[in-house]
Amino acid sequence: MKLEMLGWNGFFQESFNSYDNEEFLAGRVILEHKRLYRIMTEHGELLGHLAGKLRYQAASREDLPAVGDWVVIRPQLDENKATIQAVLPRKSKFSRKAAGDRAEEQIVAANVDIVFLVSALNQDFNVRRIERYLILAWESGAKPVIILNKADLCPDVDDRIAEVESVAFGVPIHPISALHEDGLEALQPYLEPGQTVALLGSSGVGKSTLMNRLLGEARQDVQEVREGDDRGRHTTTYRELFVLPSGACVIDTPGMRELQLWEGESGLTETFEDIQQLASQCYFRDCQHQSEPKCAVKAAIADGRVAQERYDSYLKLQRELAFFERKANKKAQIEEKERWKKINRDLRKFYKNK
């Protein structure tokens, strides 16, 4: 397979030029599993592991390969294996805060051109969740596209579309039924050769069914949602990159029950562009939109141009980002302190043995 079919372009070639000799190859990570990686190359699929130097020099999880990354490898073609020497700079990345209390980034998909934000038109439909996904999509550097799946189960599709349009300004919205293959033709313009699309959404929204339809065969397991609340069960358990018959690459991801923001200042601005514009019209430049006179935001809420729920969501996400930034800064200070401790220990050991 030619690398261009996997999304290789001049951006990655420029970074690879310093490695471009007979000793190294470029490949794309299509699956990660317990620090082992499946890598697609011009010579086929190889099983890769990290070079000791790369593992040692990695300051955080962000420095290690993720699905969608382009990596520099030293191949062992006779054994279908490879050693990963470096991760090439990313064109984009969709990240979230890793589960747990630690301020740590989890890269969900790398080098993505388009993000399909999949939501189900059933009882689990949630506009506030879509806002959260949009923040991370805009922050990633990829273009978001909203897919409203299970349209066959919804008696008021147009009303739901209107709800989403009220929070997703300028973002394409496509109602489909992956199960019945309705509306899928609207997705084809995004699935051109060399393009990389990531499927993102909560459990039970139908990503696996949609993935199977795009592939033209049943490759991903599918489960029914729970009765009573339409919440899903995890079917996809790991991230994996597939090449479609059209030539596009699609990264399927596990359903996210928890979507905590990692970064999002610019994404927050894009997602809540209406509130940002109103805030610029307030009489006082430092208006907090509480009891100040001539507040354009409060006026818009009062006359119905902005829903109170949307403004409350904006404040909540703003507070969440501010809290996480403080937590991440504290973590960075601790890590920097530990790094210098290690350097000093190594220096003392060096001079002692000299």
At 139 the pLDDT is 83
Structural domain total, the chain: 2
Give residue 99's pLDDT band: very low, low, confident or very high (50, 70, 90). Answer: low
Q: Are residues 132 and 110 in the same domain?
A: yes
pLDDT digits (tens, 9 = 90+) for 10-34: 999 999 998 878 899 999 999 998 7
Whether the per-residue pLDDT at 232 is higher than 50: the answer is no
For residues 272-293, average pLDDT: 86
pLDDT digits (tens, 9 = 90+) for 122-153: 988 989 889 888 888 888 889 999 999 999 99
Q: Are residues 83 and 101 in the same domain?
A: no
Q: Is residue 58 part of a domain?
A: yes
Q: Model-level pTM?
A: 0.75
Q: Are residues 138 and 41 in the same domain?
A: no
Whether the per-residue pLDDT at 329 is higher than 60: the answer is no
Q: Are residues 225 and 97 in the same domain?
A: yes
CATH number at residue 26: 2.40.50.140
Q: Are residues 160 and 102 in the same domain?
A: yes
CA gap 143, 249 in Å, rounded: 15
The DSSP line for 52-96 is HHHHHH--SGGGS--TT-EEEEEEEGGGTEEEEEEEPPPS-EEEE
At 259 the pLDDT is 54
Answer yes or no: are the C-beta atoms of 132 and 270 closer than 8 Å: no
CATH number at residue 231: 3.40.50.300
Q: Are residues 131 and 208 in the same domain?
A: yes
Answer yes or no: are the C-beta atoms of 202 and 124 closer than 8 Å: yes
Task: Tell me the range of 45-59, 277-291, 331-345 where mean pLDDT is highest.
Answer: 45-59
Q: Are residues 158 and 53 in the same domain?
A: no
Whether the per-residue pLDDT at 201 is higher than 80: the answer is yes
If DSSP codes are grouped into helix, strand and coil, which group holds residue 246?
A: coil
Q: Which domain holds residue 132?
A: 93-252
Q: Is residue 237 part of a domain?
A: yes
More confident residue, 99 or 212: 212
Q: Are residues 100 and 244 in the same domain?
A: yes
More confident residue, 259 or 178: 178
Final residue of a structural domain among 87, 121, 144: 87
Q: Is residue 44 part of a domain?
A: yes
Q: Is residue 115 part of a domain?
A: yes
Q: Is residue 312 part of a domain?
A: no
Number of H helices, E strands in the chain: 9, 13
Final residue of a structural domain among 252, 272, 302: 252
Final residue of a structural domain among 37, 59, 87: 87
Q: Are residues 112 and 244 in the same domain?
A: yes
Lowest mean pLDDT among 47-51, 158-162, 346-350: 346-350
Q: Are residues 150 and 231 in the same domain?
A: yes
The DSSP line for 277-329 is HHHTTSSSTT--SSS-TT-HHHHHHHTTSS-HHHHHHHHHHHHHHHHHHHHHH
